[in-house]
Amino acid sequence: MEFVSPEGLRLDGRRPMEMRQIRAEIGAVSKADGSAVFEMGNTKVIAAVYGPRELQNRSQQISSQALVRCEYSMANFSTGDRMRKSKGDRRSTEISLVIRQTMEACILTHLMPRSQIDIYVQVLQADGGTRSACINAATLALADAGIPMCDLVTSCSAGYLNTTPLLDLNYVEDSAGGPDVTLGILPKLDKVTLLQMDSKLPIDILENVMQLAIEGCKAIAKYIREVLLENTKQLEYRRGV
């Protein structure tokens, strides 16, 4: 199938190096300590963060650092077929783990020993790139909750179809079965904290695709920073500072 036309346009009208429209909103769940909604095109994810708080299960206590827990789920209405999905299936468990490990890498857990931080992410609408959207939403929610982090971790995916590296695959492109690299970076520290790919890619092409994903992550980081700054200004304004 032709995913990039000879005119250089993808099926949805984007060019290979273009991301979908992104949109973020902080404070969607007022009860939570921090929350955010993150959209990448038609992929929409909500994240809520509770903590740092007292451990619910004392046996899990780690004396030197905070315990980070993550629960990922997909709303039944998030895909076209509205299938009822059982919680805790293998895919959800795996993504929960991926998100937890990625977030753990940027949270300064040693500052909050003997406490726990819960991150809940739910996919409201899925159109490819849900992993990345979840990580971005979680970052925003953590920042909103005021949890100390060494950097804002951001994530973006890139793929390789019709011998062209493509940024931010949507569902149709994702289902083509080509390589799909999900990358998470700490933009300020310039470090990669997450790199996932299920298929094979020659190393030189992987480098190109990864570079593209890094550019995507950086663009998202820039946007997230703007959103946070705007949010802080709003808070200042409301408090009359």
Partner 1 sequence: MLHNKSFAKKTRAGKVTKQLREHYLRDDIYCGAPFCTVCNTSGARLSATASTVLVLDTNVVLNQIDLLENPAIEDVVVLSIVLEEVKNKNLAVYNRVRAICSNPKRNFFVFSNEYHRETFVKEMTGETKNDRNDRAIRVAAQWYQNHLGGAVKVLLITNDKGNKRKASEEGIFAETVESYVKSLDRPDLLDLLVRPASEDVDMEEVEDLRPSKRKVIYSEHKPMSEITSGLHRGIYHQGKLRVNRYNPFEAYVGSESIGDEVRVYGRSNMNRAFDGDIVAVEVLPRDQWHEEKSLSIVREEDEDEDEDVHLAPNSADDAPRTAPQQGSSGEVNVVSSRPSGCIVGIIKRNWHSYCGSLEPMPMPAGSGGIAHALFVSKDRRIPKIRIQTRQLENLLDKRIIVAVDSWDRQSRYPSGHYVQTIGEIGDRDTESELVLIENDINSRPFSSQVLACLPPLPWSVSPEDLSNPIRQDLRHLRVFSVDPPGCKDIDDALHCYALPNGNYEVGVHIADVTNFVHPGTPLDDEATERGTSVYLVERRIDMLPKPLTEDICSLRSDVERLAFSVIWEMTPEADIISSRYTKSVIKSSAALSYIEAQARMDDSRLMDPVTTDLRNMNSLAKKMRSRRIERGALTLASAEVKFQIDTETHDPLDIGMYQIREANQMVEEFMLAANVSVAEQILKNFPLCSLLRRHPTPTREMLEPLLCTAAAVGVHLDVSSSKALADSLDHAVGDDPYFNKLIRILATRCMTQAVYFCSGDLSPPEYHHYGLASPLYTHFTSPIRRYADVIVHRLLAASLGISKLPSVFHDRLQLTSIADNLNYRHRNAQMAGRASVELHTLIYFRKRPTDTDARIVKIRSNGFFVFVPKYGIEGPVYLTTKAEQGSGEWYVDEQQQKIKKMDGSLSYSILQTVKIHMEVVEPQPNRPKLQLTLI
- Binding of partner 1 at residue 7 (CB under 8 A)? yes
* 20 vs 69, beta carbon nearer partner 1: 20
d(CA 32, CA 48): 6
Contact 91, 78 (CB under 8 A): no
- The structure tokens listed for 41 are 């095109």
Closest by Cα among 61, 129, 69, 60 to 100: 69
Residues 96-125 that bind partner 1 (CB under 8 A): none
- Binding of partner 1 at residue 69 (CB under 8 A)? no
- The structure tokens listed for 204 are 């030189």
Smallest distance from partner 1 to CB 4, Å: 12
The dihedrals phi and psi of 213, each to the nearest 5 degrees, come to -65, -35
* 203 vs 241, beta carbon nearer partner 1: 203
- Binding of partner 1 at residue 13 (CB under 8 A)? yes
Binding window for partner 1 (CB under 8 A); candidates: 7-15, 129-137, 148-156, 228-236: 7-15
* 5 vs 56, beta carbon nearer partner 1: 5
* 13 vs 240, beta carbon nearer partner 1: 13
**DSSP states of 75-98:** -TTSSTT-----TT-HHHHHHHHH
- The structure tokens listed for 91 are 């895919």
Instruction: Quickly count: other Cβ atoms within 10 Å of residue 88's Cβ.
Output: 12
Q: Which of 16, 34, 41, 184 binds partner 1 (CB under 8 A)?
A: 41
Write out the residues near partner 1 by the rule CB under 8 A.
5-7, 9, 11-14, 18, 20-21, 41-42, 80-81, 127, 163, 170, 172, 199-203, 205
